[in-house]
Amino acid sequence: MKLYYSAGACSLSPHIALKEAGLAFEAISAPTKTHQLPDGSDYYKINPLGYVPLLVLDDGSQLRECAVIIQYIADQAPDKHLAPANGTFERYKLQEWLGFISTELHKNFSPLFTPGMPDEAKTIFKARLMDRLKWVNNALADTSYLMGDTFTVGDAYLFNVSNWTKFVGVDISALENLAAFRARVSARPAVQEAMRAEGLIK
């Protein structure tokens, strides 16, 4: 498998998932600013949409969306329990979380990274993000991870997206449950390995 990623982007979550799963893969940098691959070629020729992550399977099949990619990875290593079994109620709860993280958190960050976005609009999106993050903070009050005591790919995605708050001026220091969650996730060896591979930590 090949994972095309951009350092610190949402592709960090499948990078973490692959490390957690212990699967063999090649990580290929595809910076979202230049879209130039390490060999000098144009990333758009591989993924016309230009964004990351992109997972290319050994047979050439491609998966593009983060919430789908991380579930696929989890299903390749069921013994790691990175996702509940397909068809179970718990799997649907994980998908509920993935949908929430994707649409209510991830997409609300996008305008804050958009050049030329008016300050008034940024204020609205920051307030919306804080409302959602406060809800997540409350949901984490009595649990170690989103799905209980077991780390899943949903936790990788939430950790990934919540990393962006420091870059856009959203202060989450008062969200103690979220902070404790982030500390737990960041201490995981696979998480540190993925972040080190992307140059996010030394």
Q: Would you list the domain boundaries of the chain?
A: 2-81+190-197, 89-188
User: How does the average pLDDT of the chain come out, rounded?
Assistant: 97
Q: DSSP for 50-63, please give it.
A: --S-EEE-TTS-EE
Instruction: Assess contact for 74 and 21: CB atoms under 8 A.
Output: yes
pTM here is: 0.96
Are 2-81+190-197 and 89-188 the same fold in CATH? Answer: no
Q: Residue 74, Cβ neighbours under 10 Å: how many? A: 24
> What are 1-52's pLDDT values in tens digits?
999 999 999 999 999 999 999 999 999 999 999 999 999 999 999 999 999 9
The 3-state DSSP class for residue 42 equals: strand
Omega cis (within 30) before 53: yes
Predicted local distance difference test score (pLDDT) of residue 36: 97
Confidence of residue 66 (pLDDT cuts 50, 70, 90): very high
Percent helix, strand and coil across the chain, each to the nearest 5: 55, 10, 40
Classify burial at 132, counting beta carbons within 10 Å of its beta carbon; exposed 0-12, middle 13-18, buried 19 or more: middle
**Hey, what CATH topology would domain 89-188 get?**
Glutathione S-transferase Yfyf (Class Pi); Chain A, domain 2 (1.20.1050)
Mean pLDDT along residues 74-81: 98
> Distance from CA of residue 71 to its chain's centroid?
12
Predicted local distance difference test score (pLDDT) of residue 131: 97
DSSP at 101: I
Confidence of residue 184 (pLDDT cuts 50, 70, 90): very high
Predicted local distance difference test score (pLDDT) of residue 120: 95
Predicted local distance difference test score (pLDDT) of residue 38: 97
Predicted local distance difference test score (pLDDT) of residue 88: 98
> What are 99-146's pLDDT values in tens digits?
999 999 999 999 999 999 999 999 999 999 999 999 999 999 999 999
The CATH code for residues 2-81+190-197 is 3.40.30.10
